[in-house]
Amino acid sequence: MNILETTDLGRRYGRDWALRNCTLAVPEGHLVALVGPNGAGKTTLLNIAVGLTAPTEGDITVLGGIAVGSPTALDRIAFVAQDVPLYRNLPVADMLHLTRNLNHDFDLAYARRRLDDLAISPKRKIGKLSGGQRAQLALTLALARHPRLLVLDEPTASLDPVARHDFMATVVTAMTDDGISVILSSHVLAELERVADYLVLLTRGAVRVNGAVDDLLAEHLLVTGPATATPDARWHVLEASEAGAQQLLLVHVDGPDMPLPPAWEGRPVGVEELALAYLRETPAYTRPVAVEAGR
């Protein structure tokens, strides 16, 4: 089952396209890292997926073919937005009751237990909580609905490293315990490298990379060779730099067993290196390439 499937999806604001020709299929059971520069269309894609924004063109379904924004989709998807929308003047207990009243299924007992474990008092006003506590409260409200898909749009952007770590640990535990799928948009690439096993990278409103992390990493290498050497014609060079008599290239290859030419050495890449290379692809070396899962 695909938790998210789009075909030629686009969203226009006035004359500008925030998202266009977006086609992808994301299988269930993954923690999906949604990556891209500011203005790439990440938030637009997530807002469409959870039913907050209607597409201008194209098609989109969630959770195996369910229409976005339908009652079934709304009951099975939980969303935590970047600004963590909570009523700051309400006590935590009132926020729990309000959320329960606005949802068909809300596990109040689960939410209370989880907040008690986090030492978040139900009597405290939300505006008095720390940033990490507010993020954990928003995540608790989402998880208490027992969703099949959890969508997170920059939920840790304003948190310190410890709070970010604790937040992501909770997400990973929920995936393990409840079998949910997660789509997470974040600029913190090092954090995503630690937890994500699927990568979707958007640039200029279109999908640039889409696939399981293990498959993508197996198709890329960092290669080093003499500055005078010509790169293998079979390589797609994403990023190039020189240091003295050596050149360093991050390249897309046919597979992990592809032999390197004489005088070249290679090593595997990480998720952060791979994402950054696609985000700042070296124009002089660029030629068209399609990167898909399962190649």
Q: CA-to-CA distance for 145 and 105, rounded, in angstroms?
A: 6
CATH number of the domain enclosing 28:
3.40.50.300
> Exposed e or buried b for every residue in 110-144, given b needs 16+ CB within 10 A?
ebbebbeebebeeeeebeebeebbbbbbbbbbbbb
User: Angle between the 131-143 and 108-117 helix axes, to the nearest 10 degrees?
Assistant: 150
Write down the pLDDT at residue 295. 36
Do 174 and 226 sit in the same domain of this protein?
no
Classify residue 144: in a domain, yes or no: yes
**Domain end marker among 212, 233, 253:** 212
Do 139 and 258 sit in the same domain of this protein?
no
Q: How far is CA 54 from the centre of its chain?
A: 20
Q: Is the pLDDT of residue 62 over 90?
A: yes
Do 99 and 196 sit in the same domain of this protein?
yes
Do 122 and 247 sit in the same domain of this protein?
no
Q: Is the pLDDT of residue 139 over 80?
A: yes
Do 36 and 160 sit in the same domain of this protein?
yes
Do 162 and 234 sit in the same domain of this protein?
no
The model's confidence at residue 86, banded by pLDDT at 50, 70 and 90, is confident
Do 188 and 232 sit in the same domain of this protein?
no
pTM score, whole prediction: 0.85
Q: How far is CA 23 from CA 75, 201, 205, in A?
A: 25, 12, 11
Q: Taking the C-alpha atoms of 80, 84, 86 and 91 in order, what is their torsion angle to the nearest 10 degrees?
A: 100
**Domain end marker among 212, 236, 259:** 212
**Domain end marker among 173, 190, 212:** 212
Do 75 and 181 sit in the same domain of this protein?
yes
Q: DSSP states of the chain as a string?
A: -EEEEEEEEEEEETTEEEEEEEEEEEESS-EEEEE--TTSSHHHHHHHHTTSS--SEEEEEETTTEETTSHHHHHHEEEE-TT----TTSBHHHHHHHHHHHSS---HHHHHHHHHHTT--TTSBGGGS-HHHHHHHHHHHHHTT--SEEEEESTTTT--HHHHHHHHHHHHHHHHHH--EEEEE-S-HHHHHHH-SEEEEEETTEEEEEEEHHHHHHTEEEEEEETTPPPPTT-EEEEEEEETTEEEEEEE-S-TTPPPPTT-EEE---HHHHHHHHHT--GGG-----EETT-
Classify residue 294: in a domain, yes or no: no
Do 226 and 82 sit in the same domain of this protein?
no
Residue range 161-195, pLDDT digits in tens: 888 888 889 899 988 888 899 999 987 787 788 88
Highest mean pLDDT among 33-37, 121-125, 186-190, 279-283: 121-125
The model's confidence at residue 292, banded by pLDDT at 50, 70 and 90, is very low
The model's confidence at residue 284, banded by pLDDT at 50, 70 and 90, is very low
Q: CA-to-CA distance for 52 and 170, rounded, in angstroms?
A: 25
Do 19 and 129 sit in the same domain of this protein?
yes
Do 159 and 109 sit in the same domain of this protein?
yes
Classify residue 295: in a domain, yes or no: no
Residue range 227-240, pLDDT digits in tens: 888 888 888 888 88
Domain span at residue 149 reads: 2-212
Do 201 and 83 sit in the same domain of this protein?
yes
Write down the pLDDT at residue 190. 77
Left if phi > 0, otherwise alpha if psi is -120 to 50, otherwise beta: which for 232?
beta
Total domains in the chain come to: 2
